[in-house]
Structure formats: C-alpha cells, structure tokens
A and B are shown apart, each in its own frame.
Chain A
Amino acid sequence: GAVVSQHPSWVICKSGTSVKIECRSLDFQATTMFWYRQFPKQSLMLMATSNEGSKATYEQGVEKDKFLINHASLTLSTLTVTSAHPEDSSFYICSASVQGRQRLYGYTFGSGTRLTVV
C-alpha cells in the first residue's frame, strides 16, 4: 500500500530557530500534499495544500512566511517553521494523494511530528 514517511517524529528547538519537517511518498507519486496541525484536545486543522511544482495554498490565518512549504518533487514535500516560538509547539502531520485515488482509497498520512519550542 501507499506509504508516506515523515521525519522527524519529534523535535525540540530553541525559540527563534527554524525547523524543517519532511514528508516523502515512498511508493507512489504524490501530486498533492496537505499539511495539518493539531493542538492538544483539538481536531486536525488544515494549514496548507501544495501541488508539485506550484506554490502552496494557505488556509486563512496561517502565515505563509512563517510556515514555508516546498513541494519540489512528486515524492517530497517539506514544511519549514521559521523563527519558531513556543506558541508554534504543536503536532504537525502531512497527508498525500494521487490524482483520482482519494475517492477509492482515501488519503495517506505520515506519522506526524511533535514540535516543542523552548
């Protein structure tokens, strides 16, 4: 089956530094990647949608200059949290789809990244 590998699974960083999170589709080409964030006791909230080779589309209230998304290839998307602050501490998770597959098989998720900014 389709697999998305997400790294790192957890990271602790100092306030003001940047952190990069990677999502790789291992056995399929991900034409679209979705990035979500989950705060404690809340649901998964979509941050942005990226399509390979084009700029990401950000949801309302998500700062595109703070959360940089790059989807340069069909197998790799990255989320960089720039100048991280404690309020950015959260659980970040990606999901991917192949055009036309999501109706049959749903979306494939990574395992998530727990970010703690100290």
Chain B
Amino acid sequence: ILNVEQSPQSLHVQEGDSTNFTCSFPSSNFYALHWYRWETAKSPEALFVMTLNGDEKKKGRISATLNTKEGYSYLYIKGSQPEDSATYLCAPEKAAGNKLTFGGGTRVLVKP
C-alpha cells in the first residue's frame, strides 16, 4: 500500500490570495501523478496528469509542479476565487493503466 500524504488537510483562503499545498508520495516505481478537484455533490474532475520530473502544468489560475526524485508535488492556486473551493486530491500511479492510490485530500475554502 502506497503512503500518500497531503498537507494541510484543510485551509481557508481569502478571496484574491494565492495558496499552495503539498502531495508526498513514494518515489520508487513512479509512473504518473494525478491531481483531481472534487467539489461537493459533484464528480472528481481531473486537473493534471504529470509524469516527468520537473514537470510543471497549468490550467487557468491553477498550476502544479512535480519532483519524482524526492516524491512530492505542489499545487498552486493564484488569486483564489470562491469557485476554487473544493477538495483537491492527488494520486500516484505506479504503472500504466494501473490503479491510483489517493491521498486524504486538501480541503480548500475560499472566503469572499
């Protein structure tokens, strides 16, 4: 069983502020790292799939970086908006088409 840690578990952000949080995972047998955004009463939505060490991906105001050698990824939200309020999940994938192991998530609440 992979040990996937996300920190912090939750955070409150003032609208307009930027924030970031961490996903830590075992660096051995790494294939890919997935990030999902999960809004209440909706389906988890794929944000990024990252595979290369040093990779950086961006989607609007959200971006992520990946360090496969030390086993961590950061997700950044720039200029947070209320619609960014969600739980953000990370999940490493050990082999192509293989199962994901999810972290506990970081719950983000953006206050107007």
Name A's B-contacting residues (CB within 8 A). Answer: 4, 6, 32, 34, 36, 42-46, 49, 93, 95, 97, 99, 102-112
Interface size band for B: 20 to 34
Indicate if the CB atoms of A102 and B49 lie closer than 8 Å: yes
Query: Which of A4, A102, A106, A112 gathers most chain B CB within 10 Å?
Result: A106
**Chain A residues with CB under 8 A of B51:** 103
Name B's A-contacting residues (CB within 8 A). Answer: 4, 32, 34, 36, 41-49, 51, 89, 93, 96-97, 99-105
If A32-B97, A97-B97, A103-B49 touch, whether A109 touches B102 (CB-CB below 8 Å) is: no
Indicate if the CB atoms of B97 and A107 lie closer than 8 Å: no
A49 to B102, CA, bound (A): 15
